[in-house]
Structure 1
Amino acid sequence: MNFSNGVSSWLPVPGGAFPRSMALPIIGGAVDEAERNIMAPRALIYSAALTAMATAAQGSIDVCKPNGQIGPVSIMVLTVANSGERKSTAENVFMGGVRRFQDEMDVIYQSELSDWRAKQSIWDARRKAILKETLLLDQHEGGDPNKQLMEHQACAPIKPRRFKLLYEDATSEALFLGLHQNIPVAGLISSEGGGVLTGKAFNDLSKQNALWSGDAITVDRVSAESYEVRGRLTVSLMVQESSFFSYMEKNGEKSRGSGLWARFLVCSPESTQGTRFITEGAAPWDCCDRFSERVGEILKNSVEFLADPKKPKFVVRFSQSAIHRWVSIFNGVEAQIRPEGRYFGMGDHASKLADNIARVAAIFHFFEKKDGEIAVETLEAAIEVCFWYSDEFLRMFTPQPQEEADAQKLDAWLQVRRESGERFVPKTSIERFGPSPIRGVKRLDPAIEVLVAQGKVLLSKNGKVAYLDIFPERSMSNMNTRSVLAPFKPSI
């Protein structure tokens, strides 16, 4: 392999805008249309689309990677975006087909549940009668007093399984039990994922990782029978910066060490606020409707697989040219884990990157209703998308200089004030109530410098009192203050 500036020539060049592919007409058309209509960051929209596709497809297909391993196509997606970025809107557009199908199946389930309850009541009454008759039966008269009871027990009505696919504010125990009692496929999905991060859904990281890998998990319970789950789980969390940084500060080392985040496709896209201008007339949604129809079609066909967990899934395989390309990517990434390489110090993420590429390629192939094996063009689309997310992972998880990390914490703290309508925040207020690690001037002042340089705040003074203007783009003509445009210098 050839190397240039420490980057393998087999790998895509890092950086650049979110990719667009002509090889995926259904997916690309829907994402393009949603981007025009919603005007949210393209990566945020694509994350919502990927989530819907994986949630729908994971119950029907597995992927055979070029190394011969067969595994799930479930994915994990994290999108960090603040309030106003239209996270919920994007999720509703693409997850609408999943939710509609689940609602339709729930109507059927309620009818079946009503029938089961009626049959169960009759069965219970008959069981009581048989028990009474058995207790009164004189065994010396001949016959087996237990036979009738055993025959009746074997004819117990079977409770219908609920087609519950989506979970949001659920504990890990409720999620695993749902996979066991209902259908063995789930989507843990939230456009306000801060509650999921700080809740109990992520309190069993080893089991989350095992489900991603397609392994069976055993759930041990003290007051009830233990059980085993062989299921599929897609996770998609859209969280605000403050929630994400708060979680990482408290649990980042544990979650990163467990390998959880290495499995995620992560992004923190640049905001589109300030550029979302509208025009007259109704916006077309034809491509997104077509996307939702395909989601519904996949889910409808998946019912037979979900009704019988032992029924083998359809296995998506790679063409010979795609195998060659995937192997080159795998080896290229592996080589870049070495010192001075692109993934040095990020071996956990690098070890899962080729796996994620295979999953996304299989989803693309299946969703677009392509014939035969995965073509190299489809694989290239998956490579471009996954490497864009990989660049975001490196950007978000590579250790930062202290002042930049502190600036992110400070900006997340200030974001809460922005959302509450505040504009000017006294520096003394930050020193008293701000993020505890940066209240002292030795760390606070450099953090303010970074935010000033980034244009996120403007330092102003009213007499001897320093303020941060947290909406620097607004005019300051109505306030009697003097702008200090130069970076704030720490006291000596």
Structure 2
Amino acid sequence: MSGNREFPIRMLPAIVGNAIYEVVQHTQAPLPMVVAEMLGVISLACQNRIDVCRLNNLRGPTSLFIVTIAESGERKSTVSKLLMKPIYQMEERLFEQYKQELINWQYNVKIFKAEEKALMSKLKSDIRCGKDPTMARECLKILQDSYPVEPVRYKLTFNDTTPAAIKEYLCGEWRSVGIISDEAGTVFNGYTLNELPFVNKMWDGSIYSVERKNAPEILIKNARLTLSLQVQPVVINRYIERKGDVAKGIGFFARTLICHPFSTQGYRQITNPVVSSEHLPVFHERLMEIVNESIINKDERICLHFSPEAGQRWVAFYNKVETEMRLIGFLSDFKDYASKVAENMARIAALLHYFNGNEGDISLTAVEAAVEISAWYVEEYIKLFSKPQELDLINTDANELYWWMKEYCSQNFVPYIRKNTILQYGPNRFRERNKTNELLSTLYSQGKISTYKKGKTLFIQPMDSLAVI
């Protein structure tokens, strides 16, 4: 779990960061959970508006796959509704409009078929009677060219569906959707992720052939798919037990930004009932501006390139990740995930740059933000998918730190210890901030400590010393 490692929210553009803080204030949900949902919403809005070009003009989608693990009661649904509200409202309006357009289209098709039948009768009559059928043929040809155009069904999101339904929809005129779920148990336990090779192809932006009975083959081309799934630990654990080897083996998890945020339950005290409400509407306004543009220009995407300095930073990040994949590197056991990190970073950079309203090439600022976010997700992935023996080592170190904290509290007759005290006076090999954060996260997840933050100071309390208060 992410524990006390802070998400680099300071790197986000103000229009995004301010809205995130506002949602956190309203819901007191874990900040990384809100950020993950925000990234999913931005991906959904922008994926049909922009692509990103990496080294050597390699063009690709900006769609993200995001999975956030959170317990029941973390206010997943509330966060999702707050961020997605205008999109859901728009979908309702578009559906009502589509139903009316469909009725009109069906009426026009009936008229067309009646006219077609009359002209076919005229053509047959002319041929049978030995008359010149040229006029009837010309009229029939003109009629065929005026077949009523079927209305486009603009559906932006799916929740619980099948791969067949998604394929059928992406074969149509609108080819940009998201599988969005704040309770993704139905997604992981149902049919939606049954065809992971197809899902991976959509992340890649590849062409996909759809063969149907009694109908010609259809190609899904230039389609875009966002995944934004919030799921309870018990559900994702069962999914990993059943299909985890397959999902990892074919690269589904490698493409996914996955995290398990630190729970805020038990710490959601109301200290100031008055919170700001001006930033979320600004975010929604920009969100819907992009969605409307993507519908108006549904067949045209802008390709964003990196500025020279941003391109150099991307290359440096790519090379660093590649180096860490070596035998003794940080990512040596996670080569599958590492192989996609730089591409995900490029997508995040493009999304942040465009959503912020910046013009021109992707800026160095956007790339630096994407680097920090990507690095945070790399640590989350490693924590979640580390080998058992690595976890055993962490648990051993965590237990040592736990008993040292208990001894400290006992000797000093205090119920808690400051985090900085551990960094200054704790066991020598634990006096490194990242290591301390990792071990405290493990102890918290095991229920052995509680934490309290006052200002910038973090206090840790061994659970069996609670009675001292």
What is the TM-score when the length of structure 1 is the normalising length?
0.77
Give me the whole-angstrom Cα distance separating, in 1, the residues matched to 2:256 and 2:173: 26
The 5 Å alignment of 1:311-326 reads 311=300, 313-326=301-314
Q: Are positions 1:239 and 2:231 aligned together? A: yes
Summarize the alignment of residues 283-432 of structure 1 with structure 2, pairs less than 5 Å apart: 283-306=275-298, 309=299, 311=300, 313-401=301-389
CA RMSD of aligned residues (A): 2.7
Distance 1:146 1:198 in 2: 56
Within 5 Å, give how 1:209-220 maps onto structure 2: 209-220=200-211
The structure-2 alpha-carbon separation of the partners of 1:454 and 1:28, relative to structure 1 and needing over 3 Å to count, comes to same
How do 1:44-443 residues align onto structure 2 when only pairs under 5 Å count?
A: 44-137=33-126, 138=128, 140-144=130-134, 146-230=137-221, 231-279=223-271, 281-306=273-298, 309=299, 311=300, 313-401=301-389
Cα separation, partners in 2 of 1:111 and 1:279, compared to 1, 3 Å: farther
* CA deviation profile, 1:191-247 (whole Å, cap 9, x unmatched): 111111122111221121111111111111234332111201011111111110111
What per-residue deviation string (whole Å, max 9, x for no partner) do you get for residues 389-414 of structure 1? 1110111112224997xx9xxxxxxx
Q: Return the alpha-carbon distance in structure 2 between the equivalents of residues 280 and 366 of structure 1.
A: 34
Write the distance in 1 (CA, Å) between the matches of 2:193 and 2:169: 16
SS at match of 1:35: helix
C-alpha distance in 1, partners of 2:166/2:151? Answer: 18
- Alpha carbons 2:4, 2:262 under 8 Å: kept: no
- Could you say which residue in structure 1 is the equivalent of 2:439? none
Distance 2:348 2:265 in 1: 29
Q: Distance in 2 between matches of 1:23 and 1:268?
A: 20
Distance 1:451 1:146 in 2: 82
CA gap of 1:330–1:67, structure 2 versus 1, over 3 A, is farther
1:228-285 deviation line (CA, Å, top 9, x unaligned): 1120101111111111011111111111100011000000111100011124645332
What is the DSSP-based 3-state SS (H/G/I as helix, E as strand, rest coil) of the residue aligned with 1:225? strand
- TM-score normalised over the length of structure 2: 0.80
Which residue in 2 is equivalent to 1:470? Answer: none
Write the deviation string for residues 352-396 of structure 1: whole angstroms up to 9, x where unpaired.
000000000000000000122222121111111111111101111
Distance 1:452 1:336 in 2: 29
1:45 to partner: Cα distance: 0.2
- Contact in 1 for aligned 2:163/2:195 (Cα 8 Å): yes
- What secondary structure sits across from 1:300 in the alignment? helix
Post-superposition shift, 1:15? 8.3
What letter corresponds to residue 326 of structure 1 in structure 2?
W
1:304 counterpart letter in structure 2: I
In structure 2, C-alpha distance between the alignment counterparts of 1:35 and 1:76, rounded to whole Å: 22
Mapped contact 1:361–1:378 kept (Cα < 8 A) = yes
Local SS of the residue matching 2:212: coil
Cα distance in structure 1, aligned partners of 2:118 and 2:230 = 56
Kept after mapping to 2: 8 A contact 1:48/1:95: no
SS in 2 for 1:73: coil
Structure 2 residue identity aligned to 1:94: L
Offset of residue 168 of structure 1: 1.0
Deviations 1:81-106 (A, max 9, x none): 11001111111111122222222322
Tell whether 2:7 aligns with 1:18: yes
Q: How much does 1:166 deviate?
A: 0.5
Native 8 Å contact 1:113 1:159 kept in 2 = yes
Deviations 1:150-190 (A, max 9, x none): 33222110101111110111101101111112411010111
Residues 304 and 361 in structure 2, CA contact (< 8 A), matched pair in contact too: yes
Q: Where does the alignment leave 5 or more consecutive residues of structure 1 unmatched?
A: 1-13, 408-449, 458-472, 475-492
**Stretch of structure 1 that moved more, 224-233 or 352-361:** 224-233
Corresponding residue of 2:457: none
Q: Which runs of 5+ in 2 are unaligned?
A: 396-441, 450-462, 465-469
> Take 1:369 and 1:396, find their aligned partners in 2: how far apart are those partners?
35
Task: Measure how far apart 1:453 and its partner are.
Answer: 9.3
Are the aligned partners of 2:65 and 2:256 in contact in 1 as well (CA < 8 Å)?
yes
Distance 1:344 1:15, change over 3 A: farther
Q: Does 275-284 or 225-234 show the bigger shift?
A: 275-284
By how many angstroms is 1:451 displaced? 9.8
- 1:426 corresponds to which residue? none
Amino acid at match of 1:157: P
Deviation of 1:133 after TM superposition, in Å, equals: 3.1
Partner deviation per Cα, 1:100-145 (whole Å, 9 max, x = no partner): 2222322332332232122112112222222333333325222245
Query: Could you say what secondary structure the match of 1:155 adopts?
Result: coil
In structure 2, the CA distance between the partners of 1:67 and 1:397, relative to structure 1 (3 Å rule), is: farther
Change (3 A) 1:317 1:187: same
Distance in 1, matches of 2:448 and 2:114, equals: 71
Change (3 A) 1:222 1:115: closer
Q: Is the 8 A contact 1:109 1:161 kept in 2?
A: yes
Structure richer in helix, relative to its length:
2
